[in-house]
Amino acid sequence: MSAVSPRTRLTVVPSHRIAVGRGLSILAALGIVAITLAAMGRSPIELAGLVVRSTVGSRFGIEDLALFMTPLMLTGAAVWVGIRVNLWNIGAEGQLYAGATAATAVGLFTHWPAIVALPAMVVAGALAGAAWIFIPAAARAWLGVSEIVTSLLLNFVASLLVYYLATGPWADRVTGALASTERLHVALPELWGAVHLGFLLALGIVVGLGVGLAKSRFGYETAVCGSNPQAAHYAGIKVAPRILAVLLLSGALAGLAGVFEVAGTVHRLQGGLANNYGYLGIVVALLARGSCFALIPAALLMALILDTGIVLQTTQISSSAVLAITGLLVLAIAAGDEMAAYVRVNRN
C-alpha cells in the first residue's frame, strides 16, 4: 500500500489536539526565525536570551506585557462577541480611536476630581465606541449591508480625525509635541509600576462578559440569532435589534480599550495611538476560538509577540522583520489549528 496513509478532517476538533497543534506550530515558527537570524549572522540563542530577559524575565518586561494586554483583551473581546453570532466587526481600530477621543475630551476640558472624571471618561468612551459602529450596525441589522466593509472603512476616518485633532484644535501648545494633545488632567491609578487600573478592569470585563453571556437571556437569544435567524424568527425573537445590540456592545468594548489607553498608558491623545490593536483584536479573538475566557491567554500571547518585536528592534533588526515574524507566528498557529483537525485514517 502507499507509504502515506490517508487522512480525514474532523468536524469538531478536541481542544487537546488544538493545544498540541499550536504548541508544535509555534515551535516550528520560532525555528524558522532562528534559522533566518542565524543566516543573517546573528546568534539566535543570544537574542532569545535577550528577549526572555526583557519580557517575562524582568519586572519592566512584565509591566510592558500587562500594558499591551490591556487593550488587546478589550479589542479581542469586541471582535469575539461579534464572531460568536456570526458578525465581523473589523472596525475595532476606529472604535478605539472614538473612545479615546471622547475620553480625552473629558480629560482635557473638565477640571472634575478624578472620582467623577474617570467614570465620566469610561462612560463617554464606551458610548463613543458604540456610536462609531452605529451606522454599520443599523445597516447590517435592517438592510443586510455587510458590516465587514462599512466597519473597516470607518477606521480610516477615525484615524485621520484623531490626527486632525491632535495636530489642529487640540494640539499640545505647551511642549509642542508632534501630533499629540497635552497631558490629561486625570489618570487611572497605577497599581504596580506602570500597570494601571485599566488592566484589572479589562480582566474583569472579559470575565464578566463570559459569565454574563452564558447566564443571561440576552446571551441565549443572541446565540439563537447567530446560529439560525430563521429559527429565531420562529421563536418570536426579533433578530435585527439583537444584531444592533451585539454590534453596539462590540463597539463599546473597543471604545473602552481607547479610554484605558489615553487614561492609563499614554495619558494623551496621539496620532497612531491605536497601534493596530483593533486589527490585532481579530487575531486575539480567532486564537480564543469559542471561549471568552481564552481571550486572556490569547491576549497574553499577542502581547508577547508585540513585546518581542520591540526588543528585537532595539538590536537593529528592522521593524519589517518584526512584522514578518508576527505574521509567521499567526500563520503557523492557523496552520496548526487546521492540521490538528486531520487524523490518520485507521486501517485494520
Partner 1 sequence: MADVTHASNAPPAHLAAGTPPILELVNIAKYFPGVIANENVSLNVFPGEIHALLGENGAGKSTLMNVVTGLYQPDAGEIIIDGYGTTFPAPDAAIAAGIGMVHQHFRLVPRFTVAENLHLGWSETPRRLSGKDIEERASALSKKFGLPITPSAVVSSLSAGEQQRVEILRVLSRGARLLILDEPTAVLSPVEVGELFSALRRFRSEGGAVVIISHKLDEIMALADRVSVLRQGRLVGTHQTCDVTPDSLVTEMIGRPVTLATSYPRQSPAPAGGEAEPLSLKQVTVRDAAGVVRLDDVSLALRPGEVLGIAGVTGNGQPELAEVLTGLKAAESGTVYLNGKAANRADPAMFAHAGVGHVPEDRLKRALMPGLSVAENMALREYDRPPIGGRFSFSMAQARKFAQMLADRAGVKLPGTQVQIRGLSGGNQQRLVLEREIRIASHVLVASYPSRGLDIGAISAMRDMLARARDAGVAVVLMSEDLDEIFALSDRIAVLYAGRLMGVMDRADADRESIGALMSGRNLSEAA
Cross-strand bridge partners of residue 115: none
How big is the chain by its Cα radius of gyration, in Å? 22
Among 139, 157, 223, 335, binds partner 1 (CB under 8 A): 223
CA distance 45 to 233: 59
Closer to partner 1 by CB, 134 or 342: give it: 342
In this chain, which stretch among 93-101, 201-209, 224-232, 244-252 interacts with partner 1, using CB under 8 A? Answer: 224-232
Report 314-343 residues binding partner 1 (CB under 8 A).
343
For residue 218, state whether it binds partner 1 (rule: CB under 8 A): yes
For residue 241, state whether it binds partner 1 (rule: CB under 8 A): no
Among 215, 272, 315, 323, binds partner 1 (CB under 8 A): 215
Task: Indicate the pairing of strand 7-9 with strand 342-344.
Answer: antiparallel
In this chain, which stretch among 105-113, 125-133, 184-192, 219-227 interacts with partner 1, using CB under 8 A? Answer: 219-227
Q: How far is the CB of 228 from partner 1 (least distance, A)?
A: 4
Among 116, 233, 291, 327, binds partner 1 (CB under 8 A): 233
- Alpha-carbon separation of residue 169 from 161, 163, 277, 334 (angstroms): 11, 10, 25, 44
**Grid cell 475566557 — which residue?**
293
Are 224 and 237 contacting, i.e. CB atoms less than 8 angstroms apart?
yes
Q: How far is the CB of 348 from partner 1 (least distance, A)?
A: 6
φ and ψ at residue 346, rounded to 5 degrees: -85, 125
Site string for partner 1, 174-213 (x = CB under 8 A): ----------------------------------------
CA distance 230 to 239: 9
For residue 348, state whether it binds partner 1 (rule: CB under 8 A): yes
Are 299 and 69 contacting, i.e. CB atoms less than 8 angstroms apart?
yes
Most distant CA atoms of the chain, gap in Å = 79
Closer to partner 1 by CB, 129 or 210: give it: 210
Q: How far is the CB of 89 from partner 1 (least distance, A)?
A: 20
- Which pairs count as long-range contacts for 237-240, CB under 8 Å and 24+ apart, including other chains? 239/141, 240/141, 240/142
Residues that bind partner 1 (CB under 8 A): 6-8, 12, 214-221, 223-224, 227-228, 230-231, 233-237, 343, 345-348
